Structure 1
Amino acid sequence: MRHPFRIHVRGLDTSVGSDGRASVYAAIRSLLSRRSPRGCAQGGCGLCAVRLIAGEVVLLGPMSASKLAVGGPDPARVLACRIASASDLVIELGESLLRLSGRPVGASDIEKQ
């Protein structure tokens, strides 16, 4: 199946296809080198927090405000399990997903959160 949208993951320098129907988290799970937990998939646990750098998304459901506020206010922070691609996207993984990617997490990564 051809995926109409690409999700570029900044920092991993890779991208993955998205059909625009499944969540962004479902699409990026294949990029994680360690076994990625499913998380709650309902916007409440915060495991799938990402920063939306560019692109448009469709909201699939509510997100926990407390999980979005971790590390201070950031209007670009979203929960990948609660959004779907509406265009090509550029995202940065949050700390939890960075750890699952196998990429070392440094202080500069945490400061961005």
Structure 2
Amino acid sequence: MFFDTRPKVAIHVVQTDETFSCAHDESLLQGMLRLGRKGIPVGCINGGCGVCKVHIVEGQIKSLGPVSRAHVTAEEEAAGFTLACRVAPVTAVRLEVSGKFEKPFRKGFAGMANT
């Protein structure tokens, strides 16, 4: 059996109050998939499709590669938006899911605020 001994930080999804762990060298999307939530769109996993758009509310991230400006403009990036497949956490992170990524997180959380 393989045990993942990499240091991890807590990632908190604001809308659903869920927390998952993510290693410093893995994308937020990879960590998010461990929530086991059905329907999380994976898309291209390469920053080109934009389905995993998130807003970083608090915490530091590092880039794992470029994102398509068609999905995250320079202005949005400056405001904290990014693609979960192209960033890894440096510190604990609080994030909000955005766009197409919201639907699977809304399921089962009817009281969630509309964003």
TM over 0.5, shorter chain: yes
Alpha-carbon distance in 2 for matches of 1:36, 1:10: 16
Q: Kindly indicate whether the alpha-carbon contact (under 8 Å) linking 1:50 and 1:77 is maintained by their aligned counterparts in 2.
A: yes
Q: How many corresponding residue pairs?
A: 106
1:35 to 36, 39, 44: 39
- Provide structure 2 residue ranges, at least 5 long, that are not aligned to the other structure: none
- Tell me by how many angstroms 1:4 deviates: 2.5
Between structures 1 and 2, the one with greater helix share? 1
Q: Check if 1:63 corresponds to 2:54.
A: no
Q: Check if 1:97 corresponds to 2:101.
A: yes
Equivalent in the alignment of 2:19: 15
AA aligned opposite 1:86: V
Alpha-carbon distance in 2 for matches of 1:28, 1:47: 14
Q: TM-score, normalised by structure 1?
A: 0.81
- Provide structure 1 residue ranges, at least 5 long, that are not aligned to the other structure: none
Question: Percent identity between the aligned chains?
Answer: 26
| Superposition pairs of residues 78-97 of structure 1, within 5 angstroms | 78-97=82-101
Structure ID, larger Rg: 2
